[in-house]
Amino acid sequence: MQIDSGRADAARQQAAPSDTWLGKLGPGLITGAADDDPSGIATYSQAGAQFGFGMLWTVCLTFPLMLGIQVISAKIGRVSGHGLATNIRRHYPKSLLYAIVGLLLLANVINIAADVAAMGDALTLIIGGPTHLYAVGFGLLSLLLQVFIPYQQYVRILKWLTLGLLAYVATVLTVHIPWGEVALRTAWPQFAWSAASVTMIVAVFGTTISPYLFFWQASQEVEDLQADAGAQALRRAPEQAPRQFQRIKMDTAIGMGFSNLVAFFIMLTTAVTLGAQGITHIDTSAQAASALRPIAGEFAFALFSLGIIGTGLLAIPVLAGSAAYAMAGAFHWKNSLELAPRAAKKFYGIIVTATVIGAALCFTPLDPIKALYWSAVINGVISVPIMALMMVMASRPAIMGTLTISRRLRALGWLSTIVMATAVLAMFATMAF
């Protein structure tokens, strides 16, 4: 991948390795924060409203599983010097590659549509006005930032947007929390096993461990590699591996920890407010914010609503960008957010197309709730084979050289894959009844 000289020189001057912990955060932090998109917020809100404290335990399980699979995706990118789609193209049948990438693109577009709609609804709740126009405006804003701001500057914007998720931590401070009971129910959950509870567990897992996050983090490691003049793909420079692996582990642990902590607080907030008042059905994140208003007050409502907008601005670029990286890797196109649009027309074309179609869907009769449902089904279908492929790739010397993943990480990655496969089977079982 060649980066045109003007933007590349500036990037390399700005991308000198930082020894500060904040400077080491990037792909993992942004990936984790993007996981709490408006669609995810709706799922976590429903979990809290419907089951109270009964679903808080799920984050104790999703955190290590999510951490393991995202570390593996990051290592594949940094060690091989290529994103997931490029590695699949090089080593596996094209029919498998095209099926995975096509389904990923479809799921991401649907998710973008749901997210921009939720952002438009949230802004309407705060200031009133035309929801659809707000949704289009948010889509265009995200698009302009991705297309016209070089990667190293843009990634700083994304890092600051992660602070929007702190709104959900702050919201908890505005309501009374029985912390003793919360700790007990998190460590020792009590709820009735039923079709509804199984469906919710599957939804939480499907929302938390998503294929677009795998593609994004691996590609962001490649972006950082290309932007650093002193760095090489680790399979060709194994002496750089200890430092980079330590950074990946810290970055990903903080990002996934942040993601699951926010999910925990969203469930907790809606449990002690909506669930306690008998409001047990939530379809969208904006509906959760609206229902929160008369119960928890204006400040909690405003924080919750602003969080929807902030995390949406973070998630849309990740959804569109991961689709573009996947398509570019599948068809061997130039791809980098550091490239000028004229130097990577097809790559940016996918970003533009995915975002524009997603925003345009807000003007159609498409039911955003059904769209999210089918998006979750598609993500569930493709997540298991992608995770299995990642596990095989991360263990192959042909891809990883001498830096194949450790036995402990391999065990964690396969456990995550098995849990997701079980969740998908459970999802189809509940759909059949």
pLDDT tens digit at each of 433 positions of the chain = 444 444 444 444 444 445 555 556 778 888 888 888 888 888 888 899 999 999 999 999 999 999 999 999 999 999 999 999 999 999 999 999 999 999 999 999 999 998 898 889 989 998 998 988 999 999 998 888 888 887 667 777 776 777 767 777 787 777 888 999 999 999 888 767 777 888 888 888 888 889 999 999 999 999 988 888 888 999 999 999 999 999 999 999 999 998 999 899 989 988 988 888 888 888 777 888 888 888 777 888 888 888 888 888 888 989 999 999 999 999 999 998 888 889 999 999 999 999 999 999 888 877 766 776 677 778 878 899 999 999 999 999 999 999 999 999 999 999 999 998 988 888 777 766 6
Please say whether the beta carbons of 410 and 417 come within 8 A. no
This prediction's pTM: 0.88
Length of the chain: 433
Look at the block and give the residue holding tokens 């990002």.
255
Distant-in-sequence, close-in-space partners of 56: CB < 8 Å, separation ≥ 6: 182, 185, 186, 189, 264, 267, 268, 271
Residue 320 half-sphere exposure, CB side, CA atoms within 13 Å?
33
Tell me the C-alpha distance between 278 and 201, whole Å: 21
Spell out a b/e string for 64-92, using b for 16 or more CB atoms within 10 Å of the CB, else e: ebbbbbbbbbbbbbbbbbbbbbbbbbeee
